[in-house]
């Protein structure tokens, strides 16, 4: 593809106009990433180097790179993607029988590796590993408070909004094993998200602390947001997408309405270029605050879930909003002119309160960007 044709999508007026040439460029980009990333387990690529790091396989982001590969394989049939993705669930399993730090995010790790591998190839080991991860996640359920415990430190009563996205692992296990215990736990946690994490205005809490014995809520904590009463944008994206997924699995409209409430708030807070700041309440004037392209891409994919869940004119505004976000990410935050850069999107914010990973590329931002574009290309093997 010549350079003029390669970047044709950057001049398109709408995402639908851009999509054919964008999809070609994305294939070229991700094939190049295979050579650049190799066996690394990436999380963050700093802006100055554009090189992804290489973290432990039990780190919560270890599934996103192979998830990109499996999606691209599913839509293109190119063996390069399949070959590069194949070993990742085995690597995760090997780590699981060593000293490790697996926790509430095993859905992020095993859905885009073992589960999608089984869906696409029928691999029995992928099925077995996915079910083992679902059993591990179910074991984190606190019956008194009806929540999935976060992390592995001494905060046994903590739960986080991120786990909204991991519920799909439990729903998949319930369907695969015909065992409703998994879905009972997933629905109970989703009810807790609706009750204690999603605020009346559609903003969300990141962390909620419960008494682990009585189950009583103690307080909401700021976590990766600016303050306990602030509005961390990626947390909103997790809730938006996660509740839309929960509706897809259950058909229960309370989860649909919860996702819509977060979506309406999220969209109302977007700046002119439709890419979210890291926290919608970080300051009275957000002009100097960093963006978070990972919140934007995850929200866009969640909005497409809402669009698919609603008929005709009801779903159209969500699809159009997702396309506006994706077009802005493509035009303003992509690495299309940086062949040496190992990521797809720039300007992610990992954890600003901790001063960590600000204005960087984040592998989960890349993953949800690919996932959202794949949905627009007709991708059917949804895993989240």
Which sequence positions are flagged as catalytic?
Answer: 105, 162
Q: From residue 274, give the alpha-carbon distance in Å to each of 241, 268, 323, 324.
A: 17, 10, 10, 7
Helical spans, DSSP H, in the chain: 3-6, 15-37, 64-76, 79-85, 88-96, 106-110, 116-121, 124-138, 167-177, 180-192, 233-250, 253-268, 293-309, 312-333, 363-376
In this structure, what are the phi and psi dihedrals at residue 106, rounded to the nearest 5 degrees?
Answer: -65, -20
Q: Which residues of 308-338 are buried (b: 16+ CB within 10 A; e: fewer)?
A: ebbeeeebebbbebbbbbbbbbbbbbbbbee
Q: Kindly state the tokens that stand for 251.
A: 């058909």
Residue 64 has, within 13 A of its CA and on its CB side, a CA count of 24
- The answer to whether the CB of 56 falls within 8 A of the CB of 91 is no
- The answer to whether the CB of 346 falls within 8 A of the CB of 278 is no
Give residues with Cβ within 8 angstroms of 279, minimum separation 6: 225, 226, 230, 231, 232, 233, 289, 352
């Amino acid at each position: 593809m010549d350079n003029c044709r390669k970047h044709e999508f950057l001049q398109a007026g709408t995402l639908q106009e851009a999509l054919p040439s964008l999809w070609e460029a994305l294939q070229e980009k991700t094939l190049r990433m295979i050579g650049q990333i190799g066996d690394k387990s990436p999380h963050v690529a700093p802006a100055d180097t554009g090189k992804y790091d290489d973290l432990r396989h039990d780190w919560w982001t270890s599934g996103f790179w192979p998830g990109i590969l499996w999606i691209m394989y599913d839509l293109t049939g190119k063996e390069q993607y399949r070959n590069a993705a194949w070993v990742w669930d085995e690597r995760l399993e090997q780590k699981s029988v060593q000293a490790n730090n697996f926790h509430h995010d095993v859905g992020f790790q095993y859905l885009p590796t073992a589960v999608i591998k089984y869906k696409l190839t029928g691999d029995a080991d992928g099925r077995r590993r996915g079910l083992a991860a679902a059993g591990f996640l179910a074991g984190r359920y606190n019956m008194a408070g009806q929540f999935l415990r976060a992390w592995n430190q001494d905060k046994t009563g903590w739960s986080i909004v991120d786990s909204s996205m991991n519920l799909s692992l439990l729903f998949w296990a319930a369907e695969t094993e015909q065992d409703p215990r998994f879905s009972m736990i997933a629905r109970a946690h989703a009810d807790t998200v609706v009750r204690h994490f999603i605020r009346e205005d559609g903003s969300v809490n990141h962390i909620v602390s419960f008494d682990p014995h009585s189950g009583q809520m103690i307080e909401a904590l700021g976590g990766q947001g600016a303050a306990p009463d602030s509005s961390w944008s990626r947390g909103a994206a997790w809730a938006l997408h996660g509740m839309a997924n929960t509706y897809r699995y259950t058909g229960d409209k309370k989860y649909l309405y919860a996702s819509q409430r977060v979506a309406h708030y999220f969209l109302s807070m977007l700046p002119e270029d439709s890419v979210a700041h890291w926290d919608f309440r970080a300051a009275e004037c957000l002009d100097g605050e960093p963006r978070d392209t990972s919140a934007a891409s995850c929200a866009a994919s969640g909005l497409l879930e809402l669009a698919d869940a609603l008929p005709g004119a009801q779903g159209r505004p969500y699809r159009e909003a997702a396309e506006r976000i994706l077009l802005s990410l493509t035009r303003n935050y992509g690495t299309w002119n940086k062949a040496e850069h190992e990521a797809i999107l720039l300007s992610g914010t990992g954890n600003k309160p901790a001063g960590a990973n600000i204005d960087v590329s984040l592998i989960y931002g890349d993953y949800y960007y690919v996932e959202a574009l794949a949905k627009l290309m007709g991708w059917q093997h949804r895993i989240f």
